[in-house]
Chains A and B, each alone.
Chain A
Amino acid sequence: MNFPAELKYSKSHEWVKMLSDNSALVGITDFAQSELGDLVFINLPVAGDSITKEESFCDVESVKAVSDVISPLTGVVAEVNEELMDAPQMLNESPYEAWIAKVEDITDTEELMDAAAYEAFIQQ
């Protein structure tokens, strides 16, 4: 399994890529996608949504289940990855390119792990 060093990770298995302008990209980790199985749809948030850390901000569907994606940040959704609407398999195939939302006006962040800490966390 792959955990890029430049990303931060949450306990609920989302990755965060901090950008220079107090904004960030959020997606789900390789571990998350393998646990969830083949994803068939994502209910994306809407640009302009205020989202809160440790609360659900969208959900992903497999054939037999639906799972919340938890926001690691408090902020406002600036942009969503519309490509995932038509190609949810990107979440399985390349989870770190398949960003879900770009979040800006970030006012709060949950305690995030670096790649090594996250890898240790999922080993437990």
Chain B
Amino acid sequence: MKLIFEKGAPGQHLDMLPSCDVPEVSLSQERKAPLPLPQVSETELTRHYTALAKRVHGVNDGFYPLGSCTMKYNPKINEDMAALPGFTQIHPLQPESTVQGCLEVYATAEKLLSEITGMDAMTFQPAAGAHGEFTGLLLIKAYHHHRGDSTRTKIIVPDSAHGTNPASAVMAGYTVVNIPSAPDGCVDVEALRAAVGPDTAGLMLTNPNTVGIFDKNILEITKIVHDAGGLCYYDGANLNAVMGVVRPGDMGFDVIHLNLHKTFSTPHGGGGPGSGAVGCKALLKPFLPGPMVEKAEDGSYHFVTPEHSIGRVKDFYGNFTVVVKALTYVLTLGKAGIPEAAENAVLNANYMMKRLKEKYTMAYDVPCMHEFVMCLEDLLHETGVSAMDIAKGLLDNGIHPPTMYFPLIVHEALMIEPTETESKETLDEACDVFLKLWDLAHSDAQALHDAPLTTPIRRLDEVGAARNPVLRYTEE
């Protein structure tokens, strides 16, 4: 399909602004380069973007079991609330007395999400999960420095971790110590014991982990790190399995990030904006980025900067309207709905796992939490059909493929996370498709190598794209 630059004609435009009602001025150093932005009519514009929207698979287009991404339904009431002019038309630097509602949103969200996670304070400044990781690690760094301990230079990360974990640790100035997972996919407790020492600043962990298993040794793990003088960081990517059931704070974690755009139902927008709220125990609270919101005795809200704040991690206060959406969600679900969502996420995953086990090999054949990982290495050897081929076969059946080739410790991995907002009928239909593709791999492998056939485009030349990068439109 044509690019927007290839549509319209010079002179086509939309009249958006009146003529200027004051004398016009100009700069001494004006722009010399032409500005070849699109020139299209409003009809052309809307048709262009409608056509683009039709070439996207969103949560409302069909099943989206993308592991580790928690693609649950995004409630419409959340969008309505975030679009209230009383939120969208507020300047971030208005006087405090005129933004009490915004501050109440932050204060209420902090209170409720701290309760769900077992934390004492929470900042909403980080814009995404990785940004939250970076922030949380800086809290750990500031904490150790404040104690006068600058010898702790290492962060321990299991080899099953999300790539953001080690990358964030390095951005925070740490050296990464990778520890291998045990055969059951969980932390190898002895390897951890051997890895900790006086140079350990902390451990980063996802629990349930990236293979969908709750680490039963979690208390021992956090104790080993604490005994060595380190702190424990919880990557909240998988909180949907356990929210309202068990709290990271009770597992021994000192600092966490949440992905409000996963667990708390805010949409992903094709890659963002998200919100990577960071919660912490009282010992890290003085180091949080400023400003934080505090409630005074008279019930009014105020900005305060924590005593030993690490400083800002972004402009202003965070992805505010994303927090409005998450708050709306938490208020809707409440005390009973939060754990109910987690339980059904786990039930849905186990149900799918049970059905798919009929043919597919599970990487870890034990009851899972909210997601599970299949290992297609056998299938590849038997039929030549890879995890990628199965994924592309799913596309022809209207299903968004699971996360592929992650975690790295499982070969030919497909990681499936159905979420609680899918019905049994949807799960059954999806399982039928998965099983059908397994049969197809054995009967007609080529058909899967050729998939997809029904999508707007077929498999792309990614090697060519990377070797000869074309990263923008240029007029011929």
Contact = CB atoms under 8 A, between A and B. Distances in A.
B466 A40 contact: yes
Interface string A68-98: 0000000000000000000011000000000
Contacts of A88: 467
A31 interface: no
A63 B466 contact: yes
B53 interface: no
A40 B463 contact: yes
Interface in A31-80: 38, 40-41, 61, 63-64
Contact of B405 (A41, A61, A64): A64
B21 interface: no
Q: Determine chain B's interface SS by DSSP, over half rule.
A: helix
Nearest to A88: B467
Contacts of B467: 38, 40-41, 88-89
A63 B404 CA distance: 14
Interface string B378-406: 00000000000000000000000000010
Contacts of A41: 466-467
Contacts of B463: 38, 40, 63
Nearest to B388: A64
B462 interface: yes
Contacts of A40: 463, 466-467
A63 B405 CA distance: 13
A89 B462 CA distance: 14
A72 to B, nearest CB: 25
Interface string B448-463: 0000000000000011
B307 to A, nearest CB: 42
A61 B462 CA distance: 13
Interface residues of B, number: 5
Contacts of B405: 64
A64 B405 CA distance: 10
A66 B34 CA distance: 40
Interface in B147-171: none
Interface in B435-476: 462-463, 466-467
Contacts of A89: 467
A63 B468 CA distance: 12
A48 to B, nearest CB: 24
A64 B413 CA distance: 14
Nearest to A37: B463
Contacts of A63: 462-463, 466
Interface-centre pick from B405, B462, B463 (highest chain A CB count, 10 A): B463
Interface in A89-116: 89
B411 to A, nearest CB: 13
A124 B467 CA distance: 33
A64 B462 CA distance: 10
B193 to A, nearest CB: 28
B465 to A, nearest CB: 8
Interface string B208-224: 00000000000000000
A99 B462 CA distance: 25
A87 to B, nearest CB: 8
Interface string B126-146: 000000000000000000000
A41 B466 CA distance: 8
A87 B421 CA distance: 48
Nearest to B466: A40
Contacts of A61: 466
A41 to B, nearest CB: 7
A63 B464 CA distance: 10
A61 B405 CA distance: 17
A76 to B, nearest CB: 26
Return the 3 tightest CB-CB contacts between A and B, nearest first.
A40-B466, A38-B463, A63-B462
Interface of A: 38, 40-41, 61, 63-64, 88-89
Interface of B: 405, 462-463, 466-467
Given A38-B467, A41-B467, 12 more contacts: A38-B463, A40-B463, A40-B466, A40-B467, A41-B466, A61-B466, A63-B462, A63-B463, A63-B466, A64-B405, A88-B467, A89-B467
8 contacts: A40-B466, A41-B466, A41-B467, A61-B466, A63-B462, A63-B466, A88-B467, A89-B467
